[in-house]
Structure 1
Amino acid sequence: MTPATTTELDVLGALLAFDFIGFAQKSAALDPADARYGQAVGCAFGLAARRRFPRGAHPEEVRAYVARFLGSLEAGAEDFDAAVLEALIFAGLDGDGGQGPGLTDPERTMQARLVLTLRWVRELELGPEEQRELLAQAGRRVAV
């Protein structure tokens, strides 16, 4: 794994562990100008999306999920565009580790991927060992 991949997965790991100080510290080391920025988190996001929607998803299902997701946020829903979240989920389901259609802001894309991955890990009730395996699997896929 590259240092950038390791750092991204460390950021996601800290978030999943609710280590918000570690999350903030590790996030500061990320460089949105790096050509590989978001790749490792994108891979973990795609893996989590395929676990959350194991048989794929129809547009109506994703639209309803996004509406429930946004409605459940106590604060910050205004930071996310529903259509972009839908496109992001479909890109993850399709195995697109890059930017899906309409996803032109790498920092917003990263933020959305992090929040949705956290949400799916909680919904799927993945314990610490399963979380480590998800991160390791993402690291292996990015390294290929």
Structure 2
Amino acid sequence: MRNVEHIGIAVKDFSQANALYFQLLGVEPYKTEFVPSENVNTSFFRVGGTKIELLEGTTEDSAINRYIQKRGEGIHHIAFEVEDIYKEMARLKQEGFTLLSDTPKKGADNKLVCFVHPRSANGVLIELTQEIY
């Protein structure tokens, strides 16, 4: 794993959350995007070398809305950039981690993504990300 790529925050109201984070961070999101594979709207803020991703579910049964129903708004996941997502997935499986999919999916911000189940990581949802070239 190379570095923390971003921190994902689950929100109920996308426009309100974007306004709040603009006020908090003093910068506009550099990108907003709908991710069909996850039924979420996303926006990304960059502060120094850190990226914050806001996530709003677009359907009642989206993973983000289910998360908010159980735990409320807040930090949803930590994403780590990897050089080769397929090799990293194989390594983590071999180490005994439970992955939420057998193959990576196209995620936001031009990335391939795969998630590690929170049961495997002390209750934290971990996202692996690799730039799509």
TM-score by length of 1: 0.26
TM-score by length of 2: 0.28
More helix by share: 1
More strand by share: 2
